[in-house]
Amino acid sequence: MHQQFSGWRKATPSNGGGNCVEIGASATHVGVRDTKNRDGGTLAFAPAQWQAFLAGVRAGRFDLS
């Protein structure tokens, strides 16, 4: 599956340390890639998968502390 993603952006609170990912959108998926290696590949998520991930982040399910 080859997706054409556009509108790439990273989170506003990024600290500039280079440990960032950015997201983009295609007609059917949300793409996630590493800002240090933009040509290294993109993870593609269906909208429902992406929304479930965001809900988990907001609920603190992935906090490391």
Report whether 27 contacts 6 (CB < 8 A): no
User: pLDDT tens string for the chain (65 positions)?
Assistant: 678 999 999 877 666 667 789 999 999 999 999 988 999 999 999 999 999 999 999 999 999 88
Q: Which residue is it, tokens 């040509």?
A: 39
Query: Tokens 């990912």 label which residue?
Result: 21
DSSP assignment letter at 56: H
Per-residue DSSP letters for 2-50? ----EEEEE-TT--SSS--EEEEE-SS-EEEEETT-TTS--EEE-HHHH
The structure's pTM equals: 0.80
